[in-house]
Each structure stands twice: as structure tokens, then as C-alpha cells.
Amino acid sequence: MKNINRQRVYRVQAAIETGDRLQLFLTTSESTVRLMQQMMREGVVDFVYRKESTTELVRRCGTLLPAYIGDYAFSDNHGSYRSPLVLTYWDVERGGWRSCLARNLVGYFETE
């Protein structure tokens, strides 16, 4: 039992618990961050990531659409450093900038 990939178990569990169609990321890299950024430029993305400090799975809705961000548009002095392995997004539910490391992204939910 020690060889079980716990991340895979958590990912499958998250999809089962929500009943939604979770598209899992098989690998995470710069291309994963670019994909998420592109989707967030076109709309609101419902996605799951693993918190760095607790390994807890978190579900968030993020966007890069100016209509949601308003006066809080991203600028270089926002405080977040730019890295191709960090996804920076506007949290629609909490109304603020958040970021997530690419290695912690689990997947996103398909919309129909």
C-alpha cells in the first residue's frame, strides 16, 4: 500500500465528492500556468489546487477579466513576483489577488 500515489487519490476523491467533471492535470509546468491564464482571460475558471502548507485541497473561482477586477488591475507593484511557475489570479469569491504554484494545481472543472 505504500506505493499508492496519494495525489492521484486526492484528485479522484475531489471529483467524486463534487460530482463535477474535473479535468486533471497529468503534469504541471509553465504550459499548465499558460493554459489557466488563457482560460482566465476568457472567463471565470473553477479549479482545484493543493495548499502548500497543509496539502488540503481547495476549490476556487479565478479570472483575469477586467470586468471582475475593476480598479484592482494587476501591476508590477502589486507585490507578487512574476514566475512562469506561479499562477496569479483574481479570486472572484474573495475579491482579491491570489497565487498558486504550478506544482500544486490539480485540475479545473469543465463547464457545459
pLDDT in tens, 10-39: 555 555 465 567 677 766 688 889 899 999
In sign, the C-alpha dihedral spanning 107, 97, 53, 34 is positive
Spatial distance between the Cα atoms of 103 and 42, rounded to a whole number of angstroms: 23
Q: Is residue 63 part of a domain?
A: yes
Q: Is residue 34 part of a domain?
A: yes
Q: Which of 8-12, 92-96, 98-102 has the lowest mean pLDDT?
A: 8-12
Q: Is residue 25 part of a domain?
A: yes
Q: Is residue 42 part of a domain?
A: yes
Contact 45, 61 (CB under 8 A): yes
Residue 101 CB neighbours (<10 A): 15
Q: Is residue 1 part of a domain?
A: no
28-72 pLDDT, tens digit per residue, is: 688 889 899 999 999 999 999 988 888 788 899 999 999 999 877
pLDDT for 44: 94
Q: Is the pTM of this model over 0.75?
A: no
Strand arrangement, sheet containing 105-109: 22-24, 105-109, 45-50, 57-63, 86-91, 96-101
Amino acid at 73: A
Q: Is residue 103 part of a domain?
A: yes
Please tell me the total count of domains within the chain. Answer: 1
Q: Is residue 29 part of a domain?
A: yes
Q: Is residue 20 part of a domain?
A: yes
| Domain housing 84 | 6-109
**Quick check: 99 pLDDT over 50?**
yes
